[in-house]
């Protein structure tokens, strides 16, 4: 197929460069849904069903806005006011919560690099390799689905962090001021346990 003739207008920037451009694609693009909902357990396909349980909130009083969910019912939430640049917190139904990323693009890169990030706390490098191997056995075309999803969102497979770098970033966020600002409490005022309190705790 021949390329269309140029009109002289500047090309549109990739999706990742435009404010609030990723979330609609995450819930509607076929390749994105196939990977994120099907492999990384991040489902943004039905926003109206993404509601936190009553009473779950941030200790700071800042806004906590759910935008996606896991199959278990756990919630992916934006913190504060703004768009996709906001910090992202994961709220587990098991009473755990913690920051995953500073902005939706960083979260998506985490899920593209290590869709098994939930299994990281307390595991050694060798154990994580085994977890990754299990994922690849369950999803033989994981790399293809990952690359197609990354391209669909304008993130580009070549720009993804290594698994080690992505997990190190999780550890950094779990110990820093972002974690302190993103403490989640329940309906009775109970503070949720840190999501990654055991991250890299074992040698």
Specify whether the CB–CB gap between 148 and 31 falls below 8 A: yes
**Contact of 112 with 155, CB cutoff 8 Å:** yes
Q: How many residues does the chain have?
A: 203
pLDDT of 12: 34
Express each pLDDT in 46-62 by its tens digit: 877 778 888 999 999 99
pTM, two decimals, is 0.83
Q: What is the pLDDT of residue 130?
A: 81
Helix (H, G, I), strand (E, B) or coil at 195: coil
For residue 79, the cross-strand partners are 64
User: Looking at residue 30, what is its pLDDT?
Assistant: 96
Contact (CB, 8 A) for 38 and 165? no
| pLDDT given at position 136 | 85
How much is the pLDDT for 61? 94
Closest CA to 26 of 88, 140, 81, 105: 105
Pairwise CA distance, residues 127 & 159, whole Å: 26
Domain boundaries, the chain: 19-187
Residue 116: CB atoms within 10 Å: 20
So what's the pLDDT on residue 47? 77
Please name the helix (run of DSSP H) or strand (run of DSSP E) that holds residue 167, with its range, or none: helix 163-175
Ranges under pLDDT 70 in the chain: 1-20, 121-125, 197-203
Rounded to the nearest 5°, which phi and psi values hold at 28? -130, -30
- The pLDDT of residue 32: 96
pLDDT at 3: 37
What is the distance in angstroms between the CA of the first residue and the CA of the last residue of the chain? 55
């Amino acid at each position: 197929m021949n390329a269309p003739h140029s009109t002289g207008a500047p090309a549109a920037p990739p999706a990742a460069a435009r404010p609030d451009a990723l979330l609609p694609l995450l819930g509607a693009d076929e390749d994105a849904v196939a990977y994120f909902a099907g492999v990384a357990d991040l489902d943004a396909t039905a926003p109206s069903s993404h509601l936190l349980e009553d009473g779950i909130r941030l200790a700071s009083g800042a806004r906590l806005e759910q935008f996606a969910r896991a199959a278990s019912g756990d919630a992916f939430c934006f913190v504060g006011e703004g768009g996709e640049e906001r910090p992202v917190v994961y709220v587990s139904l098991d009473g755990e919560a913690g920051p995953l990323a500073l902005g939706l693009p960083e979260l998506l890169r985490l899920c593209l690099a290590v869709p098994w990030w939930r299994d990281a706390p307390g595991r050694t490098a060798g154990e994580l390799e085994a977890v990754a191997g299990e994922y690849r056995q369950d999803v033989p075309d994981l790399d293809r689905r990952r690359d197609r999803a990354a391209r669909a969102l304008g993130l580009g497979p070549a720009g993804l962090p290594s698994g080690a770098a992505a997990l190190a970033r999780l550890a950094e966020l779990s110990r820093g001021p972002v974690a302190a600002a993103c403490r989640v409490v329940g309906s009775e005022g109970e503070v949720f346990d840190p999501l990654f309190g055991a991250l890299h705790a074992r040698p």
